[in-house]
């Protein structure tokens, strides 16, 4: 059975990084964008990282520009923005695609393990769903991720245990991470 440890990704400098390097840790894998309405998620993500990294927790940040051109910068520009504006210290990798024929194999795996189940209830979530559907039509059955700041929680064995859409309450995300840490 496949796990996230079977995948290799690129760091910001273009070097291969085996996710096996994170074996035994609780991971939160997130696709991000610097110009998204959910970009303020960097604040609670960084706070969670600072609080829990010494307990075996890592956040893996994968910038993506497939949602309304909200991450148009270079890898270095995106990194500078995140570190200067939000003080992020967690690992940030090279910009990737999460949907379509060019989707990162890691993201195709994550989304297959935990498919989209909706943004939740309410007018704001319904509006996002409509906007996401229009944006993702071009990806057809390979529209794995519906929007920026989708988060996948990975256990210490590399299994995908939860998926959190960007509309999920960050307190609920943190609660799940803490629970996974034991």
Show which residues are catalytic.
36
Q: Write down the domain spans for the chain.
A: 4-181
- DSSP β-ladder status, 57-63 and 26-32: parallel
pLDDT for res 141: 85
Q: Which of 105-114, 128-137, 167-176 bottoms out in mean pLDDT, i.e. has the lowest?
A: 128-137
pLDDT for res 84: 86
Report how far residue 50's alpha carbon sits from residue 58's, in angstroms, rounded to the nearest whole number.
10
pTM of the predicted structure, to 2 decimals: 0.94
pLDDT digits (tens, 9 = 90+) for 134-146: 888 889 888 999 9
pLDDT digits (tens, 9 = 90+) for 47-105: 999 999 999 999 999 999 999 888 988 989 999 898 988 999 999 999 999 999 999 99
**Fold category of 4-181 in CATH:** Glutaredoxin (3.40.30)
Instruction: Please report where in the chains the tokens 């995140």 appear, as a residue.
Output: 82
Average pLDDT over every residue of 119-126: 82
Query: Who wins on pLDDT, 55 or 128?
Result: 55
pLDDT for res 130: 85
Q: Where are the beta strands (DSSP E) in 95-170?
A: 151-154, 160-164
Report how far residue 33's alpha carbon sits from residue 96's, in angstroms, rounded to the nearest whole number.
11
pLDDT for res 119: 87
Tokens of 15: 């070097």
Report how far residue 39's alpha carbon sits from residue 25's, in angstroms, rounded to the nearest whole number.
25
pLDDT for res 70: 87
**Residue 150 banded pLDDT, cuts 50, 70, 90:** very high
Average pLDDT over every residue of 159-179: 97
Task: Let me know how long the chain is.
Answer: 182
Q: In the predicted model, is pLDDT for residue 122 greater than 90?
A: no
pLDDT for res 99: 95
Is residue 45 within 8 A of residue 51, CB to CB? The reply is no
State the average pLDDT for the chain. Answer: 93
Question: 59 in helix, strand or coil?
Answer: strand
Q: Which residues pair with 30 in a beta bridge?
A: 61, 151
């Amino acid at each position: 059975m496949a796990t996230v440890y079977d995948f290799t990704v690129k760091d910001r400098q273009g070097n291969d990084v085996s996710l096996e390097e994170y074996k035994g840790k609780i991971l939160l894998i997130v696709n991000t964008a610097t110009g998204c309405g959910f970009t303020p998620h960097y604040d609670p993500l960084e706070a969670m990282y600072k609080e829990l990294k010494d307990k075996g927790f890592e956040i893996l940040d994968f910038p993506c520009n497939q949602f309304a051109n909200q991450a148009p910068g270079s890898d270095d520009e995106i990194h500078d923005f995140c570190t200067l504006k939000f003080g992020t210290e967690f690992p940030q990798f090279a910009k990737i695609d999460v949907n379509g024929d060019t989707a990162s194999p890691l993201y195709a795996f994550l989304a297959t393990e935990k498919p989209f189940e909706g943004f939740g209830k309410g007018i704001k979530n319904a509006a996002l769903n409509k906007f996401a559907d229009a944006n993702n039509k071009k990806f057809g059955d390979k529209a794995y991720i519906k929007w920026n700041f989708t988060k996948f929680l990975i256990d210490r064995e590399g299994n995908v245990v939860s998926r959190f859409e960007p509309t999920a309450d960050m307190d609920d995300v943190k609660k799940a991470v803490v629970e996974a840490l034991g």
